[in-house]
Structure 1
């Protein structure tokens, strides 16, 4: 029997494997410039107020208040119970955007319940937003199906994200997924696994440092580093843990009064050259404004002053 050297065996094995249809991918179908590139920076960091916290107002009142407080724009809710209902988006989104722009501010992001490309209102929302030169939207949340394994969940969600990315590219708009405590994406690594082969230009993350801190008080910097190329917008709010006697609860707080290390966070964003539209969320008690109530239980002036204080605090951090 003729002997064969290890070198010859490996050479001949490589030739044989190359002939198999499953052996190696055709790299010619993956041109280098098609590989994901980081989401592009904004020209400047804009600060918007989340319109959920102004739900007691109409379009004109909302726009006037946001401009008076000193915000650059409004993160407009285009979802059930929001300022614009999905079924009325063709009519109402242009009206809302006009009111906002007439007040001298803008719409840099909208917040939706979109989770799938074939959701009933997905195309109407994205088409209308694109026509109005809105380039970012926040998606709806996914929940884990506990009847199947976590990785199967991630694979299923990745399929939905891939389909959405295709539609987003069609309309030239970016979809960002907010990491939220208790849902898919909260630990960040699962969201990254679902996003890592998709184009950050069209699908990615709305990074929420409050929820990232809640789920990883000391590990959130790793989360930022992991997902950095996919961050297209930023949500800002604060909280602290409190022992209520029965259990520990996350209590929402004004900016700077909680446990989120905003100075370290913005220092890291600066180091990573991440400049994205910011949406400020007010979730501590504000007479119903925190929960999207259509009626306040405290004076509007009190709500406005507290909102302005948070905005001033945020601007002081960004100025460093």
Structure 2
């Protein structure tokens, strides 16, 4: 790092150092006897796509994250068509920056897509442990059941390929009308998959947006399949007279993190975390390569949310 960047990093770190930095083992799956163990949190690289790979690793390390959840998808940090060359390069540069990359977010859908196979094989060779797949859409002209059965077979095949490469795929629950907005849809498409190599990336923000008061039932239904979790917050508000889900910093929305974390601990789960910041940050929330706010605004928000999550985990 040159002197200018080094000075900049020091200033950012000093301004955001409300709590000490921590490092965490990435492969801690189950909660240990010490319930105050820190969560293993990676920063979603979508929000750092205005940085190169090395600087992304530097900032993740300086802010106290245990790693980077790297976007490997169209308009991501790594483009699928360049994955064979760029993913190993990206991960090596992230490591040079002082961080790690054990999870990636992808557009993977099928073993019949050569690019999807390339991503899985290249990621596995590069030491990636988890990937998030793309979301499936209900097929025109087919019943919902027929669509779910089709995607069930796709995930089964992906699980088999994952097993060959010793990597774990995850399907995210996501509010909306795609497959996986309802908890039972994910349960259905995972029924025939190798549970050791394909599970779910549980997103509490989307779970509450879709599940309302019943999100705890959804968590209970899916908890045996949880491999990775996403953390972010939101609240309902009116925009131009219409109700809309408005994303917020951690602890400023309607996600009941204390209850959620207590349930995770009850189920003996302490999975790796991908931290998302989807609220307005000058375009960083949208994955833009050029943002309209000072980088310090983004870094401070990341550090604030990271500290909030760890505090809430300790309190739960």
TM-score, length of structure 2 as denominator length: 0.86
Structure 2, gaps ≥5 residues long: 1-27
**2:137 alignment partner, SS class:** coil
Q: Which stretches of structure 1, 4 residues or longer, exceed 3 Å deviation after superposition?
A: 39-45
Match of 2:76 in 1: 82
**Matching residue of 1:174:** 168
Shift of 1:40: 5.7
Is 1:232 the counterpart of 2:227? The answer is: yes
Within the alignment, does 1:251 sit opposite 2:246 as a pair?
yes
Q: Aligned match of 1:94 in 73, 88, 107?
A: 88
Equivalent of 1:260 in 255, 259, 274: 255
2:210 to 208, 215, 226: 215
- Name the SS for the 1:218 alignment partner: helix
Q: Distance in 2 between the 1:119 and 1:209 partners?
A: 30
Q: Secondary structure at the match of 1:96?
A: helix
1:113 — aligned with what?
107
Structure 2 equivalent of residue 65 of structure 1: 59
Q: Which one has a bigger Cα radius of gyration?
A: 1
Contact 1:40 1:201 in 2 (8 A): no
Deviation for aligned residue 1:244:
2.8
Cα RMSD, aligned residues only:
1.6
Q: 5 Å matches for 1:1-320? A: 41=30, 45-182=39-176, 183-320=178-315
CA distance in 1 between partners of 2:231 and 2:90 (Å): 23
Deviation digits for residues 107-133 of structure 1, max 9, x if unmatched? 121011001111121221111111122
State the alpha-carbon separation in 2 of the partners of residues 114 and 125 from structure 1: 8
Mapped contact 1:42–1:277 kept (Cα < 8 A): no
Distance 2:114 2:124 in 1: 17
Stretches of structure 1 lacking an aligned partner (at least 5 in a row): 1-38
**Distance in 2 between the 1:164 and 1:155 partners?**
14
TM-score (structure 1 length as normaliser): 0.85
Equivalent pair of 2:54/2:95 in contact (CA under 8 Å): no
Conserved? CA contact 1:108–1:277, under 8 Å:
no
Q: Note closer, same or farther for the CA distance 1:41–1:122 as it changes in structure 2 (3 Å cut).
A: farther
Q: Work out whether residues 49 and 77 of structure 2, in 8 Å CA contact, stay in contact via their aligned partners in 1.
A: yes
The alignment covers a number of residue pairs equal to 282
Q: Deviations along 1:177-220, whole A, 9 cap, x unmatched?
A: 01111121111111101112322111110000000000012111
The Cα of 1:283 is off from its aligned counterpart by: 0.5
How far apart are the structure 2 equivalents of 1:230 and 1:239?
24
Report if aligned partners of 2:200, 2:228 keep a CA contact under 8 Å in 1. Answer: yes
